[in-house]
Structure 1
């Protein structure tokens, strides 16, 4: 189900709670909502659709990837300055991102996975992970 995008700053600043198998419908809604906004959005965190669970969906080189309970386990020592936008916020804001990140997460079947993301996909993942920590750009 496609859900509306949350713009309430106080809600978006809440830290996410661990997701479990009972939260799969929220994951599907997050995936559906990202797919519906794919023309102007490349990633969403669950709090952006009104959920407090640790779930993100990102475009990984055009393929939508759903991650439950993602954790960045490693990051490149090198970083760069960029500007990012967000469906929940107006405008674009400067931020600093790592060139690559390694993420441990659970897939849609709650199988443990680990993947390294580079370039723009790494930037998307870091942005959505910030959302789970209650950090807004």
Structure 2
């Protein structure tokens, strides 16, 4: 189900709780909402739709065909190649903001079936994932 976007910076600055099997509908709502905003958004965290759970969804361009991917309880376990950039956020007004990102990240996460996976991402997809994991930690750019 498509959800309204959360714009309250106090809510968005709160840390998210671990996702459980009871939260799978939230993951679907997140994908539905992200796809609805695909013209202006490439990633979302559950707090952007008003739910403080560690769930992210993003446009994964790391393979041959771009696909929408959901990660439950993602955490970055390795990062390399720090650089400075600017990002915007659909939940925050005011345009681009400076931030620090890494060119390569290794992420540990759970699939929708709650299987643990570890995968390395680079480039634009890595930047998107870092932004959304920051959301889970209550970090606003």
TM-score range, shorter chain: over 0.9
Instruction: Give the distance between the partners of 1:121 and 1:5, measured in 2 at CA.
Output: 22
Aligned match of 1:118: 122
Q: Which runs of 4+ in 1 moved over 4 A?
A: none
Q: Alpha carbon RMSD of aligned pairs, Å?
A: 0.7
Aligned match of 1:85: 88
Unaligned 5+ runs, structure 2: none
Unaligned 5+ runs, structure 1: none
Instruction: Give the distance between the partners of 2:54 and 2:47, measured in 1 at CA.
Output: 8
Aligned match of 1:70: 74
Matches within 5 A, 1:24-39: 24-39=24-39
Q: Given the two structures, how large is their TM-score scaled by the length of structure 2? A: 0.94
For these two proteins, the number of residue pairs brought into alignment is 136
Aligned match of 2:42: 42
Q: Given the two structures, how large is their TM-score scaled by the length of structure 1? A: 0.97
CA apart distance, 1:108: 1.2
Instruction: Give the distance between the partners of 1:40 and 1:117, measured in 2 at CA.
Output: 22
Q: Are residues 1:7 and 2:7 paired?
A: yes
Aligned match of 2:136: 132
Deviation sequence 1:56-111 (CA, Å, 0-9, x none): 001111211000000101111x2111110100012110111011100010111111
